Amino acid sequence: MRIIVSHDSRRLRRSGYALFLVLLFTGVVLTLFASMMAWTASNAKVTRRNNLYVQSQAAAESAVEVVLATMMRDFLLGDLNASSAYTSLSLVQSNWPAQFVIKNSSAGSANSVTLNIAPTNWTDLPFQYTGLQGLGQDCTITAWAAASNQLYDVSAPITQKIWFGTIPIFQFAIFYNIDLEINPGKVMNINGKVHSNQGIYSTGSSATEPLTFSDIVEAVGTVSMAPSPRDPQNTGRSGHVIFSLTANNPSANVNSLNLPIGGTNRDPVVIRSLLDLPPPAYAAPDLAAYSSPGQVYPFNEADLIISNAPTGTNITIYYQNGNMNPPLLQIPFDKTNFSGTNIIARYWSFVTNVTFYDFREYSTVKAVQIDVARLRSWITNGVTGKVYDDYNYTNSLSAKGHHINSIYVNNTIAFSQGTPSTDGTLPAVRMVNGERLPTNGLTVATSRPIYVEGNYNVTRDGVRYALTLGSTTNSQTWPAAFLADAITVISTNWDDTLFIKGRALGLRQPSDVTVNAACFEGIVQSDGANYSGGVENFIRMMEDWSNGKSSGNQATLTYNGSIVVMFPSRYADSPWQPTGTANGHNLYNAPNRKWGFDTSFYTPGNLPPMTPQVKAIIRKNWASQ
C-alpha cells in the first residue's frame, strides 16, 4: 500500500512571516526597553544632580545669612567691621540630611565666604525709598556650597547684595517713632514720604476736603483709615483719605527705621535721651564724645553750647570743636556796660533770659532767648565771633568744613508742672528775629521746649523772601532745624507783658507767620481721655489765629519743613485742647494752615545741620551667578 503526503506551501510561508514579525517586534520592544532604561538611568542622574544643586544652593544661602546676621548686629550696635571680620565661617549643620563644604569660590578655601564692602558714599535708595538718598555702603556676599560624600561632585553659588547705611530723617515729610495720628478738619495734602515705627491712624475731613498722601505711606504696624481707639475727639470719623500712589501703597508691617542709639531699641524714652546731656561714657570734652557713637548726641556735635545757672542767670557759652585741643573753649563776653569808668555788667549781645506765660502748660516760661539777627552779626564780627567761625571754617587744622551753624542750649532752671489751679515753671528756649539765619543755616537743640517768635528763615539777603508754601526751593533759605521737647510758634504781635495769665483769647491777635525749618520734637499722646492733636496740631499755638491782627480775618501759618515725632514730651506735657472758648478753653483758635514738606531736603547739601540719621539695611537682590 502506498501512502501519499501532500504539503500546502502557502501555509508554510504565512508561518514564516509570523515568526519574522514576532522576532522583529520583540527586537523593537527590547530596543525601546533598553533605551527607556538608559533614559531612566540618565534622568535619575540628572534629577539627583539637580537635587544636589538645589540643596547646595540652600546651604550656600544659609551661609550667607549667617554672615549677614553678624553684619547686621554690628551695624545696628555701632559700625561695620572690615570684611575680614566676617569671611571666616562656622556653619552649624547638625540635623541636616547632608553635610556641605562652604567655600569662597568653586575651588576656594573651605569654611569661608567672599565679602566685598564698597566705600561709603551718598547713593539713591531703591524700592520703597525711591527718591531718597542715603549715606552708606553696598556689600556683596558670595558663598559656594558642595555636598560631602556624594556620588556626584556638585557645587552651587549664591550671592546677596545689601546696602548698609543711614537715611537723613528729614527726608521724610512725616516720621513718627510712635503712633501717627492725622485727622485734619480741613483739606490737607502731604507731599512727601510718611513712615511710622508703630501704627498710622488717618482720616480726612469730608469727601470735598480729603486728606491726600502723594507719596509712599508705610508703618511697622497697621495703616488704618479710622481714628485711634485712644482718640476721644474724632470718634465716628472714617475714610476720606486719598493715596495718590496706589501700587503697594500704603504698606503695613514694614521694617522699622531706628536711630543709632541702643541698637534696635526704638523705645521713645531711649530716643528722648539723645537730647539730654550725654552719658558719662560720651561726655564732652572726653575724646569719646567726638567718636561716631558720641556724635549722635547733639550736645557733642553742636558748635556752640549755651548754659545758665539754675537761677536763670550767669549764662555761659562754649565753642566746641573736636579737632582742637582742648575741644571746648569758653567764649568771653562781647558786650560791656559802664558807669563812668566802672564796669557794671558784661554779657553777650545775642543771648539773654526772658519770662512769659504759656496758656497750654499753665506755666511761667523761663527761657534762654537767642536773637538770631545779633547772632549772625556776632559770627561775622572780626573781633568776637568771627575768631571762632574761622576755627570752624577757615583754619586748616581745625576746620569742620562749615561756618558756625549749630547750638545746644542747656537751660538748667528747675521744672515744675502747671495745672489749671497751680502755675508751673517751664524752662525753655526762645528764638527771635530769625528772618535771616547765619551762613550755612542753623540748628538749635535742647532737651527743653522751643518757642519761635515771628518769621523764621525766610530770606538770605533781606531782599528776596520765601514766605509761601513751596518757596524754599528758590535758594532764599538756609538749612534749619529745631530738636526739642516740643515746638510752639507765636507771632510778632506776641507781647510778654500783656499776654499774661488771664488774658482773653480774643485779645491775643497774631500776624501771619512763615517758618522754614525741620522739626524733631515730642508730643502728648492720645490716652483715651485726650486726643494728641494729630499731625495737624503738631506745631503748638497760643493766639486767636481766627482773628488776625492786620485784617481781623483768619491769620496764616505757613510751614515748609519736615515733621518728626520721636517720643512723648517730658516737659511740655499738658494735653492738646480743642480750639475756641466755646469748648471751655482759652488756648488758641486755628490758623489758615499752609503746611508742606521742604523738598529741598532731598538733596544732601540742603539738609539741616545735625540732621539725625536713621539706620537702614536694604536687601537688593539674590543671584545664583
Q: In which domain, by residue range, is 118 found? A: 48-167+617-623
- The residue out of 257, 278, 313 marking a domain boundary is 257
Report how far residue 222's alpha carbon sits from residue 136's, in angstroms, rounded to the nearest whole number. 29
On the question of pLDDT at 324 being above 80, the answer is: yes
Indicate the pLDDT class of residue 381, thresholds 50, 70 and 90. Answer: confident
The H-or-E segment that residue 270 falls in is helix 268-272
Per-residue pLDDT at 479: 97
Residues 162 and 188 in one domain: no
pLDDT digits (tens, 9 = 90+) for 459-510: 999 999 999 999 998 889 999 999 999 999 999 999 999 999 999 999 999 9
The H-or-E segment that residue 575 falls in is none
Indicate the pLDDT class of residue 616, thresholds 50, 70 and 90. Answer: confident
- The residue out of 222, 257, 292 marking a domain boundary is 257
Question: Is 34 inside any structural domain?
Answer: no
* Prior bond of 278 cis (ω within 30°): no
Per-residue pLDDT at 360: 95
The H-or-E segment that residue 386 falls in is helix 385-393
Residues 160 and 179 in one domain: no
Per-residue pLDDT at 78: 77
Percent of the chain with pLDDT over 90: 64
Per-residue pLDDT at 105: 83
On the question of pLDDT at 308 being above 70, the answer is: yes
On the question of pLDDT at 9 being above 60, the answer is: no
Question: Is 4 inside any structural domain?
Answer: no
Residues 555 and 455 in one domain: yes
Per-residue pLDDT at 42: 59
On the question of pLDDT at 285 being above 80, the answer is: yes
Residues 404 and 389 in one domain: yes
On the question of pLDDT at 15 being above 70, the answer is: no
468 Rama class: left (phi>0) / alpha (psi -120 to 50) / beta: beta
On the question of pLDDT at 96 being above 70, the answer is: yes
Per-residue pLDDT at 249: 93
Indicate the pLDDT class of residue 151, thresholds 50, 70 and 90. Answer: low
Residues 135 and 193 in one domain: no
Question: Is 286 inside any structural domain?
Answer: no
* Residue, of 341 and 171, whose pLDDT is higher: 171
How many Cβ atoms are within 10 Å of 269's Cβ, its own excluded?
Answer: 10
Indicate the pLDDT class of residue 396, thresholds 50, 70 and 90. Answer: confident
Burial degree of 94 (CB within 10 A; 0-12, 13-18, 19+): exposed
Question: Is 298 inside any structural domain?
Answer: no
Residues 247 and 111 in one domain: no
pLDDT digits (tens, 9 = 90+) for 531-579: 999 999 999 999 999 988 877 789 999 999 999 999 999 999 999 998 8
Per-residue pLDDT at 404: 96
Beta strands in 183-284 (DSSP E): 188-190, 194-196, 200-202, 211-213, 217-219, 223-224, 241-243
* pTM of structure: 0.87
* Residue, of 13 and 119, whose pLDDT is higher: 119
Question: Is 394 inside any structural domain?
Answer: yes
Average the pLDDT over 272-283 and give the result: 94
Question: Is 30 inside any structural domain?
Answer: no
Average the pLDDT over 59-73 and give the result: 88
Residues 375 and 431 in one domain: yes
Report how far residue 169's alpha carbon sits from residue 141's, in angstroms, rounded to the nearest whole number. 28
Question: In this predicted structure, which of 80-89, 320-329, 351-360 has the lowest mean pLDDT?
Answer: 80-89
Residues 518 and 574 in one domain: yes
Quote the mean pLDDT of the chain.
89
Indicate the pLDDT class of residue 89, thresholds 50, 70 and 90. Answer: confident
Residues 191 and 158 in one domain: no
On the question of pLDDT at 1 being above 50, the answer is: no
Residues 412 and 557 in one domain: yes
Indicate the pLDDT class of residue 621, thresholds 50, 70 and 90. Answer: confident
On the question of pLDDT at 10 being above 90, the answer is: no
| Contact between residue 615 and residue 76 where contact means Cβ atoms under 8 Å apart | yes
On the question of pLDDT at 38 being above 60, the answer is: no
On the question of pLDDT at 6 being above 80, the answer is: no
Residues 372 and 445 in one domain: yes
Question: Is 453 inside any structural domain?
Answer: yes
On the question of pLDDT at 395 being above 60, the answer is: yes
Residues 98 and 189 in one domain: no
Question: Is 11 inside any structural domain?
Answer: no
Question: In this predicted structure, which of 302-311, 315-324, 328-337, 520-529 has the lowest mean pLDDT?
Answer: 328-337
Question: In this predicted structure, which of 122-136, 257-271, 406-420, 441-455 has the lowest mean pLDDT?
Answer: 257-271
Per-residue pLDDT at 475: 86
Give the cell for residue 13: 510561508
Sign of the alpha-carbon dihedral angle for 126, 127, 129, 130: positive
On the question of pLDDT at 23 being above 90, the answer is: no
Closest CA to 358 of 453, 426, 262: 426
Provide the number of structural domains found in the chain. Answer: 3
DSSP 479-541: -EEEESS-EEEE-TT--TTTS-TT--GGG-----EEEE-EEEEEE----SSS---TGGG-SB-
Indicate the pLDDT class of residue 422, thresholds 50, 70 and 90. Answer: very high
Residues 6+ apart with CB under 8 A from 242: 204, 210, 211, 212, 213
